[in-house]
Chains A and B, each alone.
Chain A
Amino acid sequence: MAEALEAEALLRDRRAVRALIADLAAEVGDDSFRIMHVCGSHEHTVTRFGLRALLPRSLELIAGPGCPVCVCGTSDIREAIDIAKSGAVLATFGDMMRDRTPYGSLQDAKQEGADVRVVYSPLDAVKLAAELPDRDVVFFGVGFETTAAPVASLFARELPKNFSLLASFKLTSPAVAALLDAGGRRLDGLVCPGHVSTIVGARDWARFPADYHMPAVVSGFEPTDVLLATRNIVRQVRAKEAKLGNEYTRLVRTEGNLEAQRMMRAAFEVRPAFWRGVGFVPGSGMFLRGEWEGHDARERFGVHHEPQGLDLPKGCQCHRVVVGDIYPPQCPLFGTKCTPQDPYGPCMVSGEGTCYIWQRFGDPRVLRDFQERAS
C-alpha cells in the first residue's frame, strides 16, 4: 500500500527503535532528565512500546495533562445529564459515557431512559439534528484544539435550528504554563503534542523556551518520533540551550492551520476554564461567542453548574497523576479499587487517561518498579 503508511511503519521499526534507544542512553549517561509530554496519544506510544523499560531509569518521561476526559469538570457532565433528562437528544463521544459524577454518569442517565447517543464525529450529531427536526439535539463537545477546531467549522455554515452545542473545550499550552507557574518538581523539557500542534502551530509552544528557558519539541506519535524529540531535548539541556523544535514536520507547520484558527476565533471566545483535579486555568477555555446564543445549549436549556474544589472522589489521586506529580502505580487505588472495567477516578476512564493506559498496556517490570519506588 501506499508510501505514507510504509513510512509510518518504518518509524516504529524495532531495529530503528533499538538503535535510537542505545544512542539516547549513551547521551543520557547517569544524569537525571525529567521530560514531560502533555498528550494521551504520546503516553500510548511510551507505554505500549515499553519505552520506559528500555530507557535509562534516570531519563523520566512524565505524562502531564493530556487527556480531555480526565480534566472535564463534573459540573459540565452534570449539565449534559440535566439536558439529557429534560428530553433532548444528547450526543457525545463514547469516552464521556462512563465518567462518573456525584450525580451519576451519562451511561446511568441512558439506562434511566434518557436519549443519550454516542457519535464518532460532530458531523454525525448535526446529521442527527437534520434527521430529527422535531427533537432538540445537543452535542456535548469535550476536547482540546483537535476537537474544538472541527466543531468550530460547523459554525461556518448554516446549522439546523434544533442543534445546539454544550462546549467543554480547552487549550493545552495555557495549562502547561499554569503548571510551570505553580512550581512543583523540576522539569527539563517539553514534548509538545503533535496533533494539537497541527491546529495551533509549533509556534504556540515558543513561550516555553522564551519565558521558561525550557526546550520544547513538537513530536509525532511513532516511538522513533518520541525518541527523536527526547534526544533533541537532552542535547539542548546538555548544551544549556532552550529552543523550539519541530520533529513532526510531516504534519505540523510553524504557524499551524490558519483556516482552523480563523474558524475557532469566529466560533469561540477564550475564557478561564476549570480543569478537573487542577482548578481554574486563565485563558484555557473555549466557549461559544454571544452571537451563537441560539445554538448554545447552556443558554437554550438554562443549565449552569459550578465546579467544586478539586472535583475528585474521596481518596482519588488523579490530581497528582494529571500534573505528573506521581505515576499511576503510586496511587493506592490503582488496579485495586480503580480499574478500566470499574474506573473510580477520571484518569482510568478514557483510552487517553494515564491510569487507563498504564493498567491496560503497562510493562509489568515498569509497574513493579514504580510500585516499589512508592513504598
Chain B
Amino acid sequence: MCLGVPMRIVEVHGDHLATAETFGVRRRISTALLVEDAKVGDWVMVHVGYALETLEYAEAMEILDLLAAVAKEDPQWQKPSA
C-alpha cells in the first residue's frame, strides 16, 4: 500500500480529480494534495490513488548525468538526449 507509481496526467476533471495513465493503465486519481494545480502532461507520484508530488524531469536528468560520469567507460551506456 506504500507502493508509489509514477503516472502522467491525461485529463483534469476539476474538484481535485484527474485521470492519470502509466503503461497503458488509466485510473482516476485525486490531486487534492498537490501544492500547484495539476496540468495535463504532468508526471506525478501516485500513492493509494493520490498524487503526492510532481516529478521533475530536469532533476532526473541530473542524476543521469551523475550516472553517465560513473559509467562513461561503458560504450553502451547512453543518457537520453533531452
Does A149 lie within 8 Å of B50, measured CB to CB?
A: yes
* Known contacts A19-B77, A250-B57; is-contact A156 B32 (Cβ 8 Å): yes
| Cβ of B66 under 8 Å from chain A | yes
Does B6 lie within 8 Å of A149, measured CB to CB?
A: no
Among the interface residues B2, B6, B23, B66, which one has the most CB atoms of the partner chain A within 10 A? B2
* Known contacts A249-B59, A263-B33; is-contact A147 B47 (Cβ 8 Å): yes
* Known contacts A150-B49, A258-B35; is-contact A15 B2 (Cβ 8 Å): no
Does B70 lie within 8 Å of A23, measured CB to CB?
A: yes
| Cβ of A252 under 8 Å from chain B | yes
Q: In this complex, what residue of A is CB-closest to B15?
A: A157
Q: When each residue 1-44 of chain A gets 1 if its CB lies under 8 Å from chain B and 0 otherwise, what string results?
A: 11111111011010110111001000000000000000111000
**In the complex, how many angstroms separate the beta carbon of A91 from the nearest chain B beta carbon?**
12
Q: In this complex, what residue of B is CB-closest to A258?
A: B35
Interface positions, chain B 43-82, Cβ under 8 Å from A, are 43, 45, 47-50, 52-53, 55-57, 59-64, 66-67, 70-71, 73-74, 76-77, 79-80, 82
**In the complex, how many angstroms separate the beta carbon of B38 from the nearest chain A beta carbon?**
12
| Cβ of B40 under 8 Å from chain A | no
Q: How many A-B contacts if CB must be within 8 Å?
A: 157
Q: When each residue 16-55 of chain B gets 1 if its CB lies under 8 Å from chain A and 0 otherwise, what string results?
A: 0000001100000010111100000001010111101101
Does B64 lie within 8 Å of A4, measured CB to CB?
A: no
Does A93 lie within 8 Å of B52, measured CB to CB?
A: no
Does B60 lie within 8 Å of A195, measured CB to CB?
A: no
Does B67 lie within 8 Å of A7, measured CB to CB?
A: no
For the complex, give the distance between the alpha carbons of A7 and B50 in Å.
22
For the complex, give the distance between the alpha carbons of A89 and B48 in Å.
20
Residues of B with C-beta under 8 A to A253: 53
Residues of A with C-beta under 8 A to B55: 4, 250-251
Does A11 lie within 8 Å of B32, measured CB to CB?
A: no
**In the complex, how many angstroms separate the beta carbon of B75 from the nearest chain A beta carbon?**
10
Residues of A with C-beta under 8 A to B23: 1, 5
Residues of A with C-beta under 8 A to B35: 257-259
For the complex, give the distance between the alpha carbons of A55 and B52 in Å.
32
Q: When each residue 184-205 of chain A gets 1 if its CB lies under 8 Å from chain B and 0 otherwise, what string results?
A: 0000000000110011000000
Q: In this complex, what residue of B is CB-closest to A122?
A: B48
Q: In this complex, what residue of B is CB-closest to A123?
A: B49
Residues of B with C-beta under 8 A to A3: 57, 80, 82
Quick one: which of B43, B52, B56, B63 contacts A195, CB cutoff 8 A?
B52
| Cβ of A224 under 8 Å from chain B | yes
Does A147 lie within 8 Å of B67, measured CB to CB?
A: no
For the complex, give the distance between the alpha carbons of A121 and B67 in Å.
35
**In the complex, how many angstroms separate the beta carbon of B69 from the nearest chain A beta carbon?**
9
Does B49 lie within 8 Å of A124, measured CB to CB?
A: yes
**In the complex, how many angstroms separate the beta carbon of A347 from the nearest chain B beta carbon?**
15
Quick one: which of B6, B8, B30, B59 contacts A123, CB cutoff 8 A?
B30
Residues of B with C-beta under 8 A to A228: 63, 66-67
| Cβ of A329 under 8 Å from chain B | no
Known contacts A7-B60, A153-B32, A249-B62; 18 further A-B pairs (Cβ under 8 A): A2-B43, A7-B57, A7-B64, A16-B77, A68-B1, A93-B1, A94-B1, A123-B49, A146-B47, A149-B50, A150-B30, A153-B33, A195-B47, A247-B63, A249-B56, A249-B59, A250-B59, A263-B33
Chosen A-B contacts, 9 in total, with CB atoms closer than 8 Å, are A5-B23, A8-B60, A120-B49, A149-B52, A150-B33, A156-B32, A195-B2, A221-B4, A263-B32
In the A-B complex, the 4 residue pairs with the closest CB atoms: A121-B49, A250-B59, A150-B50, A19-B71
